[in-house]
Amino acid sequence: MILLSVIIPTRNRGTLLQLALQSLQTQTLSADSFEVLVIDNGSTDNTKQIVAAFQKKLGNIRYFFDPTPGLHVGRHLGMKMAKSKILVYADDDIKAFPTWLEGIAESFQDQKVALVGGKNLPKFESDPPDWILKMWEKNKNGERILGYLSILDLGDTKKVIPPYHVFGCNFSIRKSVLLEAGGFHPDAMPQELIRYRGDGETHVSRFIEKEKMQAIYNPEASLYHIVPKERLTEEYFRKRAYLQGISDSYTKIRNDVHNRVFKANHLIWLLRLYRKKWQLYLNKQRRLFEKSWDEGYSMHQNTSRKDKNLYKWIIQEHYMDD
């Protein structure tokens, strides 16, 4: 019986995908209890061959190809093709704990649970600079959260958490809830289509919060998230802030259409942890990141006012048919 459907969208990252699939070979949950769906969003590398090699080892992997741009496309195709009612979304740059899937399956035994996450621990490719390590320090609750790198550690106790603390690289949800939410919004668009970026899984988390559904943190349902050296720079954080500005502009436009209150979240995870001796330096970084966010937000607001097709894209009801 298939308890879980693991869905991994990917594009031209065969080497990383190989590491992710290797970690699924050592799961404590029986291989007969889960399937793996690799959704190839237009790769030109050896992704298909890598999946074929693992099909001989695991036997529970299926491969699908759809060149249509956008992470939401791969996520929705995985949802449509999944055999299970529990969807386990993961990025292609993760390495799962052996207990990852068993922890997820155990959490969903409680019918009140809509969403499950765990630790997303960093696997740094190089030593991070001190300012990133300061951001990754524990807060007063003993928790560590750094959303711009998609890393998170909420401790070693299973507990109810805000749905926003379940990141997209480790995002397990009931299919019925995802359908009720209207699916995912656009995310991870290629640079030439960046104006079509949306707010991804944040929309789904917002729906779960509004409907007062339960999100669970289970430390058994944890993984490592690979952080390449290119992301350990101010340049990357500024780029990430720019993209968040686009996402927040997208959310603002949709909320205006439905008369909802908008709260920008561009710095929710940024710079919340620092000591006095770092305050001056990090305040300088904060200004740089805020400037990048402003640039992304302004670009998207201005473009959406001029481009009627973009505006129609932003306000459409859902994206499950794209």
CATH number, domain with residue 201: 3.90.550.10
Residue positions counted in the chain: 322
Q: Give the pLDDT score at 286.
A: 78
Q: Give the pLDDT score at 320.
A: 95
Tokens representing 196 are 């079509």
Q: Within a domain: residue 108?
A: yes
Query: Tens digit of pLDDT per residue, the chain (322 long)?
Result: 899 999 999 999 999 999 999 999 999 999 999 999 999 999 999 999 999 999 988 889 999 999 999 999 999 999 999 999 999 999 999 999 999 999 999 999 999 999 999 999 999 999 999 989 988 999 899 999 999 999 999 999 999 999 999 999 999 999 999 999 999 999 999 999 999 999 999 999 999 999 999 999 999 999 999 999 999 999 999 999 999 999 999 999 999 997 665 555 544 434 433 334 445 455 677 788 889 999 999 999 999 999 999 999 999 999 998 7
Beta bridge partners of 4: 34
Q: Within a domain: residue 321?
A: no
Q: Within a domain: residue 112?
A: yes
Q: Within a domain: residue 230?
A: yes
**CA 80 distance to own-chain centroid:** 19
Q: Count of domains in the chain?
A: 1
Confirm whether pTM is higher than 0.75.
yes
Domain span at 164 = 4-315
Contacts of 124 (CB under 8 A, 6+ apart): 227, 229, 232
Q: Please count the CA atoms within 13 angstroms of the CA of 123 that sit on its side-chain side.
A: 15
Q: Within a domain: residue 10?
A: yes
Q: Within a domain: residue 322?
A: no
Q: Within a domain: residue 187?
A: yes
C-alpha distances out from residue 150 to 82, 117, 153, 222, 250, Å? 25, 12, 10, 13, 21
Q: Among 106, 112, 103, 121, which residue's Cα sits nearest to residue 167?
A: 121
Q: Among 280, 296, 290, which residue's Cα sits nearest to residue 131?
A: 280
Q: Give the pLDDT score at 57.
A: 83
Helix, strand, or coil here: 45? coil
Tokens representing 315 are 């306000």
For residue 84, give the DSSP letter. S
Q: Within a domain: residue 209?
A: yes
Q: Give the pLDDT score at 272.
A: 39
Residue type, 148: Y
Q: Give the pLDDT score at 275.
A: 38
